[in-house]
Structure 1
Amino acid sequence: MRLLKLSIPFLSLLIACNNNQPSKDTSTDSLNSASISSKKFALAYRDGDNIVVSSIDTMKQVSFGGATDPAISPDGTKLAYTISDSAGNRNIWVADLEHKTQAQLPVDNHNHYQAMWSPSGNKIAFSIFDKGNRWKVGVINTDHSGYQILESKSAIELYSPTWKNEQQLIGHDLTNLYTLDLSGKIIDTQLLTELIGKDLSLSSSNRFFYTKDGKKLIFNAGNTDIVKNSVGPNEAIYVLDLASKKTSRISPEGLNVPSLYVTADDQIFYSASKTSDSVFKIYTADLNGNIKLLVEKGMSPTGASK
């Protein structure tokens, strides 16, 4: 298999850009060792066909094309992303933003994507289509050792994996929410209708995140909101208090939120639009529902820890 590589080498493809910040003066910044080491990147997202990596105030930005699924590491020094080729293969690469290098993860599989960093940044989990034609969770250390597929012998499919903590992951199959340890053993199974009720709908792309204290679940799901020109159910962000079983809505009514990411220190990042054909904007929020607009045009955000 010949992987379709970036059309321009990584070092020359990274460019200065900050056209998407809400209301700040622009500034340019070339990608060199001095500029990278003097600041921490904190946000990564898609802008059309480009991936943008920026500081949290978007004053410092670099971007490159030819990739999807941007996932910035918790310390803001690395970026994982998906490269697809004309044959439909998908593979994960990792770029070191400080040393300006990139490498493909050594995963013996031609359909894996959507990297998710562990809280320490020492491991990466991802969705992988196994030889049994089932979606599973792949895990690999960031030094490229320890690659494995969790629950590889089970008939259960696992969608949209996230990290519960450094030693456990969660994923769902539209019916149950599963917790797995790093040996691949399922250590907890919870019926989703008992967790979130029957009024919310799920797709395989919806993600669940535990809060740092393990007492709440943050997730996006479909609802019955009516959004102009929307195709399919509108989606919103919810927080479930596991003790009280109370679910609260974070994102405002009238917005469709198909993409959600929560950092290990409970920062919420999401992209949302008012209508299905409008521009998606990127927001950040906290557990109390305080929301801030970050980027006027962008999708699929991920963030670094503070």
Structure 2
Amino acid sequence: MSKLWFGVCFIILLTMVTGASAVSVENVKKLDINETDLWDPVISPDGTKIAYAAYDDTRNQQIFVINVDGTGKQKLTSDTLKKWGLAWGPDKIAYTSFGKDGLEKIFVINPDGTGNQQLILDNTRQGNAAEDKPPQWAAPSWSYDGKSLAYTTLDEKTDPKIYTVNADGTGKKLVFKDNFKQWSPSFSPDGNNIVYVSYNDRYNQELFIIDIEGTARRQLTFDEINKNNPVWGPDGTITFVSYENMTSSNEKIFAINQDGTGRRLFVDSDYRQGNPTFSMDGTKFAYDATDSAGISKIAVGDIVGITVTPSPIVPAVTTPVATETIEPAKTAAQTPKVEETPEGSAMKDVALTMVLALAIIVVLMVGLLVLSDRFKKK
């Protein structure tokens, strides 16, 4: 009997120590949209609608909005220019297209199709280079309060760098400068940090986190498998697109904790996955799922196991002005160093937890054995 009770207590304690439910996606459904080719889906802050880019009947690239149940499709744009890199903020949808100068520019549009305008009025290339089917990591990122937008510029003399700009197109600021390419930024829920993709010293594509002042940078992932499209969820979970191993053929969506621990497969399916997107209220998760024939569908699921204390979503005024102040880039002496691997402190926490758990188990085991001996003597 003592062995049985010991086993029961061990299972209970193990569940207490390790059983905190991780954020996951359930009830995933693919939207039945009459599109043979679509890309860059983004979900609205309240989780009720999805915006995406696709071809219209004239084979021009347009932006569409649809309800998460697949109804109510609406076309927002009607010009003939390519569009990609969507990001849905508290009251605007940002996307990348071509400006009058023929360069890639970031535009904003209201969810009802009104107010379509270029956000940043300068002569730089913004977002990412256009292709017939644009890459998954071209989108800018809204801060959760809608006051700022982070994006990649392409006009640097060396490599693309990440900038932030106010929601009205002013206050353009280089986050920091190093000798590597930077792309695919995503704001943390509190707006104080940005996760992005860059190369490490061995030129592997890894995830990094930097504060918005550009003073403290740390590497989040440490393997040789390329990563793209990180998205910082409202509870702190970071999702990204990568491969399960070096021989995998299909990209999948993974999740990782913001301290670099807990890497795991976030969406389990046979489809190639890309463009993960959280609703800001923490209720829905969407991504594009591509089958073996190359047909992409939007998949939407419910987020479970999430606790969100969101920042107030305040509508931002987004009327661009023709002048702006570009803050100077940090000098080489000010360039932040990459901090040591975050796994060190995380491992200490894990080790301490395990020691405490083992101590409790030993105490309970001894107590149960003593009680068992007393019962036997009686």
Q: TM-score range by the shorter chain?
A: 0.5 to 0.7
> C-alpha separation between the residues in 1 aligned to 2:196 and 2:155?
16
2:178 aligns to what SS in structure 1?
coil
What is the match of residue 209 of structure 1?
A: 231
Preserved contact between residue 274 and residue 288 of structure 2 (Cα < 8 Å): yes
Preserved contact between residue 151 and residue 163 of structure 2 (Cα < 8 Å): yes
Amino acid aligned to 2:291: K
Query: Which of 64, 70, 73 does residue 88 from structure 2 map onto?
Result: 73
> C-alpha separation between the residues in 2 aligned to 1:244 and 1:154?
22
User: Between Structure 1 and Structure 2, which shows a larger proportion of helix residues?
Assistant: 2
What is the match of residue 264 of structure 1?
A: 280
- Going from structure 1 to structure 2, the CA distance change for 1:189 and 1:94 (only over 3 Å counts) comes to same
Normalized against structure 2, the TM-score is what? 0.55
> C-alpha separation between the residues in 2 aligned to 1:40 and 1:238?
21
Where in structure 2 are the equivalents of 1:1-306 lying within 5 Å? 22=32, 42-48=49-55, 49-63=61-75, 64-65=77-78, 66-69=81-84, 71-75=86-90, 77-84=91-98, 89-97=103-111, 100-113=114-127, 114-151=139-176, 153-165=177-189, 166-175=191-200, 176-183=206-213, 185-190=214-219, 192-193=221-222, 197-198=223-224, 201-203=225-227, 206-214=228-236, 216-224=237-245, 233-241=249-257, 245-266=261-282, 267-275=284-292, 277-288=293-304
User: Between Structure 1 and Structure 2, which shows a larger proportion of strand residues?
Assistant: 1
> C-alpha separation between the residues in 2 aligned to 1:143 and 1:170?
23
Percent of aligned positions that are identical: 19
- Going from structure 1 to structure 2, the CA distance change for 1:102 and 1:168 (only over 3 Å counts) comes to same
- Superposition CA RMSD, Å: 3.4
1:171 aligns to what SS in structure 2?
strand
What is the match of residue 297 of structure 1?
A: none
Normalized against structure 1, the TM-score is what? 0.66
Preserved contact between residue 285 and residue 302 of structure 2 (Cα < 8 Å): yes
Q: Which runs of 5+ in 2 are unaligned?
A: 1-29, 35-45, 56-60, 128-138, 201-205, 306-312, 314-378
> C-alpha separation between the residues in 1 aligned to 2:113 and 2:251?
39
Q: Which runs of 5+ in 1 are unaligned?
A: 1-19, 25-38, 228-232, 290-303
Deviation at 1:70, TM superposition (A): 5.1
> C-alpha separation between the residues in 2 aligned to 1:283 and 1:59?
14
Q: Point out which structure has higher relative CO (alpha carbons under 8 A, 6+ apart).
A: 2
Preserved contact between residue 140 and residue 184 of structure 2 (Cα < 8 Å): no
Preserved contact between residue 272 and residue 282 of structure 1 (Cα < 8 Å): yes
Deviation at 1:213, TM superposition (A): 3.2
> C-alpha separation between the residues in 1 aligned to 2:50 and 2:198?
29
